[in-house]
Structures are given as structure tokens and as C-alpha cells.
Amino acid sequence: MAILFHVVQRKLSRFRRLAAHERRLTIEAAAALALARLTFGLLPFPTALRLFGLSVTAAGCVEQDVAVAKLVGRAVERAARHVPFRAVCLQQAMAAALMLRRRGLAATVYLGTMRDGAGGLAAHAWSLCGDAPVTGVRLATGYVPVAKFAV
């Protein structure tokens, strides 16, 4: 029990050292991840996409918005490491898209597949703001986009 208390205390201490705007973004990201997890867990995929307001187009992002997109991406990745559930790539990409849309920025969520080493099919989701990476882009190497949705 003492070890758990120490771990939680250390994580809270690290969280408090973040700048106030990064703490707010991280809390918003955790809420968006929970919403994405619930939505994709309870609703059929097409219904969830309609609920999130995603369309089958790509979206652009102007250069001055890239800094905000990077902040959102870091907040989502940080929150995904600490929420009390497994926040997979699809939930992270959707959470980032929701957060970017809330800020009036465009986002595109990509779904991709590739063959894994055993001959099976692997899937991954990532998000971009124009050409700027937001979530999951580093791991997207080798995946072939099969669908994209924009906010």
C-alpha cells in the first residue's frame, strides 16, 4: 500500500510541475479519451463517426495552428498513459480530433492496416492537423491508410 501511495504521489507531483495550460489540456484529453472509449465500446463504428461529426475527407491545418496541434498531441499521449483504462490508438486519434475541433482546428483521422510478421492483419489509427502529426504518426510507418475521416 505504501508503494502505491508513493507512485501516485510521484505522478501527482510530476503533473503539478506542468504548466497550467498543459495540466488543463491533459485533463481535457483524459475526458476525451474516456468519451471515445465509451462511444466506440457502445455504438457501431458508423454511428460513432456520425456522433463525432467526422466526414470522409481530409482537412488542412494552417502553419500557426501546428503548435496547438502538437500541444494537443502531447496532452493526449500523456493522458493515455495515466487514465485507468487502456487508451488505444483509435481512442487517442479521436480524442485529439475532438480537442482540435473544439479549438476550431481541422483534424484528419487515418485508419491503416498492414501484415504483421505472422501473416496476420494489424491495424493502427493516427491523426494529423494538415501535415502536422498529432497522435500515432511515429507508429504509422508501414501501415497503408484504408480510410480517413476529417473534422
Q: What is the rounded distance in angstroms from the CA atom of residue 83 to the CA atom of residue 37? A: 11
Number of domains in the chain: 1
Query: What's this model's pTM, rounded to 2 decimal places?
Result: 0.84
Q: What is the rounded distance in angstroms from the CA atom of residue 125 to the CA atom of residue 54? A: 14
**Residue 99 lies in domain:** 2-150
Q: Which residues pair with 129 in a beta bridge?
A: 132
Collect all residues with Cβ–Cβ distance below 8 Å to 150 and sequence separation of at least 6.
Answer: 54, 55, 56, 57, 58, 59, 106, 107, 108, 109
2-55: per-residue pLDDT in tens? 776 767 778 888 888 888 999 999 999 999 999 999 999 999 988 888 888 876
57-94: per-residue pLDDT in tens? 655 666 668 899 999 999 999 999 999 999 999 999 99
Q: What is the rounded distance in angstroms from the CA atom of residue 48 to the CA atom of residue 137? A: 22
